[in-house]
Amino acid sequence: MDQCVTVERELEKVLQKFSGYGQLCERSLEDLIQYAGGLRREILQTENQDGDLSGTISLVMTQCCKRIKDTVQKLASEHKDIHSSVSRVGKAIDKNFDSDISSVGIDGCWQTESQRILNEVMVEHFFRQGMLDVAEELCQESGLSIDQSQKEPFVELNRILEALKVRVLRPALEWAVSNREMLMAQNSSLEFKLHRLYFISLLMGGTANQREALQYAKNFQPFALNHQKDIQVLMGSLVYLRQGIENSPYVHLLDANQWADICDIFTRDACALLGLSVESPLSVSFSAGCVALPALINIKAVIEQRQCTGVWNQKDELPIEVDLGKKCWYHSIFACPILRQQTTDNNPPMKLVCGHIISRDALNKMFNGSK
């Protein structure tokens, strides 16, 4: 992180110089244009019939040429100074970042099967981002065969998200109504919040939409038990339709942030129904790799310096623990207090009658020991 701050500091200096240089160029050129324009008008007014310039005008022209030349030289000098600042950014990058990261790679990591899995993850990432053409091209070039049923959910989700971003609720409402039972099974508030947003959009129309808003309020009936207070607030806002919701105590209903929130809620609940994580596995893995890479490069250098290459010989295990932060915590890890080993699928944690938790291997050993 410190390396990024150092490079960013150098980059800020360059950007400031670019901004200052641009302003200097603009002022200098405007001054020259005004000066040359004034000189031209003066020449036209004092020009004699023979077309010859007087000695005074010739002197003024010479001074004008010298001024233009000096200005150009000054701008060129300032421009050279910017070049040196840009080169310092490159030196800062070379100094703070290792351009060769092949030392932490493992030969033979991407075999046929693992390469296929990586391609599938990349295709899914492009589907998630709505880059359907890129995903199709990758499938053709890598020889992957993706079933149409795997593509359709992503196509539909991206279509609905694009509509929500431009504040069109109808596609999302239709999707939520068709999946109401599954959404309610996971205690989702998505459908209610979509109806709430649509009701608020009617309120913004004033008294002209009063009858339609009252009629639409019937859609809140299935959610009366869990969202009673929210519904009461929405109904109370109808009293202020004549003076406008923006001039009432209910102005918070018009908060623009709720549109960003509904996009996040829709993405989370839709991914949950599809059995997918909210974030792309590829982006999560990439972010984790960026955090872990500096530590891995450092430990690799220490291993090579001390000639203890046998420390890092496992393909699925690192020689040090890398803290990726809580945002990358997806599963809790339990270590057995008896055997001092992490539990696995084959050796899961077991809860005793007394409330203590140990691994199954430890429990079996206790049985064998007649405890």
Is the pLDDT higher at 45 or at 227? Answer: 227
- Average pLDDT over the chain reads 81
Residue 60, SS3? helix
Contact 259, 146 (CB under 8 A): no
pLDDT value at residue 57:
73
Q: What is the pTM of this model?
A: 0.56
Q: Which tens digit of pLDDT belongs to each residue from 175-220?
A: 998 888 888 888 888 889 999 999 988 888 888 888 888 898 888 8
Contact 125, 277 (CB under 8 A): no
pLDDT value at residue 34:
86
- Angle (CA) 142-144-150 rounded to 5° is 140
Question: What mean pLDDT comes out for the span 308-331?
Answer: 69
pLDDT value at residue 100:
65
Question: What mean pLDDT comes out for the span 299-327?
Answer: 70
Contact 269, 190 (CB under 8 A): yes
Per-domain boundaries in the chain = 1-94, 147-274, 334-369
Question: What mean pLDDT comes out for the span 59-68?
Answer: 83
pLDDT value at residue 101:
67
Using CA atoms in the order 121, 126, 127, 130, what is the torsion angle rounded to 10 degrees?
160
pLDDT value at residue 98:
63
Burial label, 304 (beta-carbon count in 10 A; 0-12, 13-18, 19+): exposed
Distance (Å, whole) CA 369 – CA 366: 5
Question: What mean pLDDT comes out for the span 305-317?
Answer: 63
Is the pLDDT higher at 18 or at 350? Answer: 350
The band of 156, judged by pLDDT with boundaries at 50, 70 and 90, is confident
